[in-house]
Structure 1
Amino acid sequence: MFKKHKIVFSLTAALLGLAVSDLNAKSPDATYHPFPDGYGYLKDGKVLSDAVEKGDTIPLREHGWRLWAGIMQEPKGMNWPVWYSWPNATGIYKNPDATYKPCPVGKAQNTGTASAHKAHGLMALNKANIIQDDLTLPAYPVPEAVIKAYPKATYLDSNGNCTIMDGKHFQSNGDIMIANEAFSKEAADWITQNKLNRKATLVDLDAKGFHLLDAPKKHIVTKHMYWPVKKGQMGVLPVWKEDYGPNFTKYAGYELWNETIAIDPTGKKAGQEVQTKYLYGVTFDGLDKDRIPQLPITKTSKVHDIKDFYYHQVTKEDWKSFDDGDKAILNAASYWAYDQPFEEGDYLVTISMHINTKEVPSWSLNSVWWTPEPDKTIYSQNKPKDLKAKGPWRHYDLVDSYDITPKPGFNMPVAMNPYIELVIHPVATNCQNCHIRAGYKSGYQSKECPDMLEHLTTDKACLLRKLLTDYQWTIPDRAY
C-alpha cells in the first residue's frame, strides 16, 4: 500500500529536478490583479472549518456568494472582471514542442468536438457504470467559415476531428460556451514551478508511489463561461428550469432544455415576448430520435435586459488583443448560436462559473449560473444582506459543495452547474465527489467507486492507489 506522501509548495527543486530559473519565473501576466479585499477571501478560515465540521451550510453559502461577487469586480483601469487578468490554462499548459495538422478546407468535417471527446473518453475508461454508458452527446463541427478565416487556429486531433486551438484568453469548449480557466498567481506558480503541467512529472511521482499532491492554501482555480450576443439584435439563451431530475441518466445538455430567453442589448423590450431562433450546424447522431430537436430551435422567449447579466462589449482594442485561437472560438460560438460571425461591438454575457479555493483542506467548491427568476429556488438562498458589490450578482444561483459527511444512510446531495456539468456529465453528480477523484490515471467513474453521490475521502480503497492532484482535474487533463 502506498504511503500518503504529499507535495507541498516548498517542495525542493532537487526532488523534481527543477531548474533555478523555473523557481524564479514571474507571473505570465504582468497586469495581474489579485482577488480584491472586502469579499471574505482568506478571512473566514476558522468559520468555514467549523461550519464544515458541524454541517452548517449557511456560513458556507454566504462565503460562496462573497467569492462570486468579488471575483466579478472590475479592477481600476480594467473593464474586464478581475479573473481576466489571471494566468489561464492556455499559458500554463502550453506545449512548446506541439505540432498540428491543419484542417482541410472545402471538405466535410468529422463531427467530433473537444467536449465530446472528453466525455466519450470518460465513458471508455468507466464503462462498468450504467449511469455514464448512455450519455450520447451532440456534435459541433467547426464551421467552414472559421477554418477559412483562422487556418492556424484549427487542427485535426488524433481522431481526425477538426478542433479549435485554445486562445490566449479563451479555451476551446467545443460548443457555444466560451470558456476561460483562470488561476490565481499562487496556483499558477505552484503548478509551473513544480512542473505539474508536464506528464513526465506525473509519471515520475506515480512511479515513486506518491499519493496526494497538496496545493498551497492561497490557491484559486476557476472556470468561467461566456455566451455570445450580437449587437443590434436579440440574443438567445437556453435556461435551466430543473428540466431533468437526478434519476435521468441520458444527455441533458442545454440544447434539450425546455425554455429559452431573449437578451436585449438595448433593454427597451425587456418583459416582452419575442420569437427566437438559435443552434445551427449541430448534429445529434446517436441521440434518441424522439429527443432530437428541430433545428434551428424556435421558441417564444421572454426578453431580459442585458444588464441582468454580467456582460462585456468587445471593443476594437479587445479584438486586437485576441489571438487567432480566441477569434476562432468566438466566431464558432456565434455561428453555432446565430449562424453569424462574431464582430467588434458584440457582447459576451456571463452564464456560469466555478470558483474553487483552498481555504479549507478539502476545498471550498462554489459554482454559479444565471437564472431568469432570482430568489425563487434553494440555490438563491443565503445571499449576504450587507454585500454591496457592483453588478447583478443577485441574478445568479449558487451551488456549494464541501467535505460535509452526510448522515448515516444518506448520500451527498446533487450539486452541479447545469451549464458546465450537463454537457459532459449526468445530472446526479456532486462537486466534492467529482473533484476528490482528480488524479493521474484516475477516472470520473470506476468499478471500485461507481457512486457519483457517495461521500469519498482520500483514503478510500478505490482512490488509495492513485496519484491524486488535490481536487484539480486540469493537472491530469491538460499536462503535456
Structure 2
Amino acid sequence: MKQQRALLAGTAALAGSSALFALAACMHRPASSASQVTSDMSVCVDPLAMPSGYGYPAREATVAGWVERRDTRAIREHGWSLFAAMNTAPDPDGEAVWRSWCTSTQAFAGATVPTPAPVGAAPATATRAATGQVRSLNAIRAKHGEPINFRATPQYQLPAAILNDPAYRQCIVPAQGETPAGLTDGAVFQSNGDIMIAGVIYNRDAYDWIRSRGLYRTATLRGLQPASATGQAEMPEMPAGSIVLKPMMWPVPQDGVSALPIWDGPDSDHDRYAGFEVHDMWPRAVAVTTDPASEGRRISGALQLNGVTLNGAAMGPSRYPDMPVVGTGRFYRYTPDLAALGACDRALLDASAWWAYGKRFRQGDQLVLIAMHAMTKEQRAWTFQSFWWHDRPDAGPYAADRPALPNALGPWRHYLMTETYGTTMAPGGTRWPVAYNPYIELAAAHPIETNCMNCHHRAAWSDIRADRVSYQLEGGPDALAVFDQRNAIFDGIVKVDSMWAISSRVPNPRPTPGPVGTQ
C-alpha cells in the first residue's frame, strides 16, 4: 500500500484549491504480508515538514494535560488540525505536504520478503488456525470480552482477465486450498485484498528511524529477542515527531459512477463481520462521479462485488435504489498516470475497479480518499485519530469540535473523525472508549467495539514464538481493555512501539500475526 507522493507520476487535485494531493492506502484484509516488489523507489527524497500554524507538534506535557483533564474538545481540535495541515500545500501551486513523505516500500527496502499470505482470510484467522491458539472467538468473548477479529471474512475472487493477463503473471499469489488467488503489493500501491487501494507512509522522522536503526532487517529484531520465554524486550522507541499514516482509496470511473457505501451505524456489535460489503449494515450509498455537472441528481445503482463471497455465498451486488450523486471534488482525489505505474500497481487498480463497477481501471479514472488513520509521536503512547468521508459531515458526534482553519485548503470538512489519546471510558477506569474507522476496522473483521490504542499497543514481532499471538492471546486482554505494557502477552517477543507495520513487513520465517498493512 503505497500512496502516491511526489515520487509517483500523475496528477492529483486538492478539491477547492489549486494545490495538488496524492493519496496512499492502507490494507485491512491482506493479499500480501509484505511487498514482493523490488523498486527503484528505494530512497525517500526531500519529504516536507508539517506546516506551521496548525498546533503541531504539541508538547508532550500539553497532550498529557488534555488526557488528564479529559479535555475532549482540545484533543479533537488538535486531531482536525493535523488532518487539515497534512492535506494543505505549502504554496498555492504546490502539493499536499504528506504527498512528499515516504512510502512503506522505501522504509522497508532491502528486506528479504517472505511469501505473501493469500487473499481472503484475516491474518489472525489463518495463523490462529495453524497454531491452535484460539479455538473459539465466541468462547473468548464469553470469558474475556470482545475479540480482535471475527473468523468469517469475505473472499474476493480475482477476475479471469487479471489471472490470465501475461503482464500480471509475476503479481499473482497462487490459490491455496479454499483460499482464492490474490495479488502482491506493487511499487506504489499495497494489496488490500478487496476494493480499497491502500498504503502506509512515514514522515521524515519515522522513515529515518526505521532506516538508521535497521528496523527493516530481520537480524536487528532477532537481536532484540528475549533470552527466555518469560523475558520481554522492545525495539528502540520511535522518536518524537514521527508521523505514520494509513489511507484508503476508492475507484471512480471517468464515464460513470461508483457506488460508495456510507456508514450510519449501528453503534454496537452484532457478533458478525460488518464490512462495507454487508448490505443490511450499510444500507445507504452515494454515487461518486468525476462529472461535477451530474451532482445533485439521485439515481439507482449497485456496488457490483463481482466474485465476492462470504461463507461460500455471493455477497453482491449491493443495490441502492436512491443514491445522491456526489462529485469527486468533495473528496481528496487523485488521477493515476497508468503509463507511470508498474504491472502490479495496475493489477491492483484493475481488480479494485472490477469488484466495484465491473471493468478495468482506465486512464482518466480517479481514486478518492475515503479513510485515513494518523498516528503522531507527540506522546510516548502516540496519538491516534482516524478520518472517513461522509455525505453528512456536519451531523453527529464524529463531526464535533471541528475548528475554524482559514488557511486549510481542500475538502477536509467533508470527513468525520474519531480519536483516542489515552482518555479512558470513565474517570480512572480500565476500559477504552470505542474508537474505530468503519472503512478500516470493520473491513478488517474487527468488531465495532474496538479501540485503536488497544490494538496498536499490542504490536510485536517474534521469529521463535509463533504461538504468542499478542494481539489476541487466549486469556489476554479484550478489544477495549486498558492493559499494562508489561502484560504477559509480551513474554518472549519484541514489542515494536505500536508499529504493526514492523510486524507485517520485517521478514520472519514464522511471523507474529497482526493486522497486516496497519501502521
Task: Tell me which interval the TM-score lies in, with the shorter structure as reference length.
Answer: 0.7 to 0.9
Contact 1:129 1:450 (C-alpha < 8 Å) held by counterparts: no
Taking the aligned partners of 2:187 and 2:505, their CA distance within structure 1 comes to: 15
Work out whether residues 184 and 191 of structure 2, in 8 Å CA contact, stay in contact via their aligned partners in 1: yes
CA distance in 1, matches of 2:111, 2:217: 11
Given candidates 206, 226, 229, the residue that maps to 2:252 is 229
Quick check: 2:111–2:216 contact (8 Å CA) kept in 1?
A: no
**What is the match of residue 156 of structure 2?**
140
* Residue of structure 2 aligned with 1:300, choices 322, 346, 357: 322
Equivalent of 2:335, from 308, 313, 316?
313
Contact 2:243 2:377 in 1 (8 A): yes
User: Are 2:465 and 1:444 aligned?
Assistant: no
Where does 1:42-441 land on structure 2 (aligned, <5 Å)? Answer: 42-75=57-90, 81-94=96-109, 97-98=112-113, 114=119, 116-121=121-126, 123-124=128-129, 125-130=133-138, 131=141, 132=147, 134-147=150-163, 148=165, 149-156=167-174, 161-208=180-227, 209-213=231-235, 214-242=237-265, 244-256=266-278, 257-286=282-311, 293-295=315-317, 297-314=319-336, 318-405=337-424, 406-408=426-428, 411-424=431-444, 425-441=446-462
The letter for the 1-side match of 2:153 is: L
1:468 to 464, 477, 495: 495
Scaled by the length of structure 1, the TM-score of the pair is 0.84
Q: CA deviation at 1:470?
A: 0.7
Query: In 2 relative to 1, CA 88–127 (structure 1 residues): closer, same or farther, beyond 3 Å?
Result: farther
Give the Cα–Cα distance (whole angstroms) in 2 for the partners of residues 123 and 249 of structure 1.
19
Where 1:49 maps in the other structure, the secondary structure is: helix
**Alpha-carbon displacement from aligned partner over 1:231-286 (angstroms, at most 9, x marks no partner):** 021221011011x3323221000011211111122222323210112223233241
How far apart, in 1, do the equivalents of 2:118 and 2:94 lie?
A: 31
Cα deviation 1:377-426 (Å, max 9, x = unaligned):
10111111245310111110101011224435662211000001111211
Task: Write the deviation string for residues 125-179 of structure 1: whole angstroms up to 9, x where unpaired.
Answer: 5445425475311111222222304222223277674221212221110111010
TM-score, normalised via structure 2 length: 0.78
CA 75–153 in structure 1, closer or farther in 2 if over 3 Å, else same = farther
Look up the match of 2:483: 456
Whole-Å separation in 2 of the counterparts to 1:294 and 1:439: 36
Distance (Å, rounded) in 2 between the aligned partners of 1:427 and 1:123: 21
Structure 1 residues 140 and 95, CA gap change in structure 2 (3 angstroms): farther
- Output the CA distance in 2 between the equivalents of 1:126 and 1:99: 24
Identity of aligned residues (%): 32
Cα distance 1:456–1:387, how it changes in 2: closer, same or farther (>3 A)? Answer: farther
1:33 to 45, 48, 59: 48
Rounded to whole Å, the distance in 2 between the matches of 1:226 and 1:460 is 36
Q: What is the rounded CA distance, in whole Å, between the counterparts of 2:267 and 2:405 in structure 1?
A: 34
* CA distance in structure 2 between the partners assigned to 1:146 and 1:74 by the alignment: 37
Check 1:81–1:335 CA distance in 2 against 1; reply closer, same or farther (3 A cut): farther
Aligned partners of 2:315, 2:420: CA distance in 1, in Å?
33
Say if 1:431 and 1:96 are closer, same or farther in 2 by CA, change over 3 A.
closer
Cα distance change, pair 395–99 in 1 and its aligned pair in 2 (3 A): closer
Q: Partner amino acid for 1:230?
A: P
| More divergent stretch after superposition (30-39 vs 320-329) | 30-39
SS at match of 2:423: coil
Distance 1:294 1:475, change over 3 A: closer
Q: Secondary structure at 1:352's aligned position in 2?
A: strand
Q: 1:448·1:462 contact (CA, 8 Å) conserved in 2?
A: no
Secondary structure class of the residue paired with 1:432: helix
Supply the distance in 1 between the matched residues of 2:353 and 2:94 (Cα, whole angstroms).
22
2:413 aligns to what SS in structure 1? helix
For the 8 Å contact 1:178–1:330, the answer to whether it is kept is yes
Q: Name the Cα RMSD after superposition.
A: 2.7
253-262 vs 300-309, which moves further? 300-309
| Structure 2 counterpart of 1:295, one-letter code | P
Answer whether contact 1:227 1:348 (CA < 8 A) is retained.
yes
Following superposition, the deviation at residue 464 of structure 1 comes to 5.6
Higher helix share: 1
In the alignment, the residues of structure 2 paired with residue 122 and residue 383 of structure 1 have an alpha-carbon distance, to the nearest angstrom, of 41
Structure 2 letter corresponding to 1:152 = Q
Partner SS, residue 419 of structure 1: coil
Q: Structure 1 stretch 126-135 or stretch 294-303: which is displaced more?
A: 126-135
Higher relative contact order (CA closer than 8 Å, sequence separation 6+): 2
**1:60-92 Cα shifts (integer Å, max 9, x gaps):** 111110111111224559875432322222232
For the 8 Å contact 2:308–2:315, the answer to whether it is kept is no
Structure 1 residues 410, 375: CA separation in 2 closer, same or farther (over 3 Å shift)?
farther
Deviations 1:434-475 (A, max 9, x none): 111111244321223242111123133434654211111110
Structure 2 unaligned regions, length at least 5: 1-40, 142-146, 463-468, 508-519
* Distance in 2, Cα, partners of 1:420 & 1:381: 21
How many residues are paired up? 438
